[in-house]
Amino acid sequence: MAQGRTGIRGARIGSGPMGEPERGDLAARAAVSFWCGNGHHIQPHFAVGAQVPDVWDCPKCGLPAGPDPDNVPSPSVNTPYMTHLAYVRQRRSQEEGEILLNEALAKLRGPI
């Protein structure tokens, strides 16, 4: 009976037996440390000479992370979802809304 094992187990298509020399050498990389507000430590790798960003999103919790563990960036403030009525209330007072409503109802009802 077949045991379900083959000779290419764990191999990737296109990979060579001892690495991938035909694809060239990897660029020189440097690990940069970032810390988020929850204390997570992240070390993404960047090419040597590349511009490193000031803020990096933490893959564990989603908070922004900075290079200084004692001075982590604060999370951005997200405005909550506002309905159409909330936007209208920003532009008009209750009295103005009642005046507009009465005018619209008068137009709909018309002369009786």
Given a contact cutoff of 8 angstroms between Cβ atoms, the answer to whether 72 and 36 are in contact is yes
Binding site residues for Zn(2+), as ranges?
Answer: 36, 40, 58, 61
User: What are the structural domain ranges in the chain?
Assistant: 26-66, 79-112
Topology adopted by domain 26-66? Rubrerythrin, domain 2 (2.20.28)
pLDDT greater at residue 77 or residue 30? 30
Q: Which pLDDT does position 45 carry in this prediction?
A: 94
Residue with the bigger pLDDT between 12 and 71: it is 71
Question: Could you tell me which residues come within 8 angstroms of residue 57 by beta carbon, excluding any fewer than 6 positions away?
Answer: 63, 64, 65
Nearest of 15, 21, 14, 62 to residue 40 by alpha carbon? 62
In sequence order, the 6+-apart residues with CB closer than 8 A to the CB of 91 are none
pTM of the complete model beyond 0.75: no
The predicted structure's pLDDT at residue 88: 86
> Binding site residues, as ranges?
36, 40, 58, 61
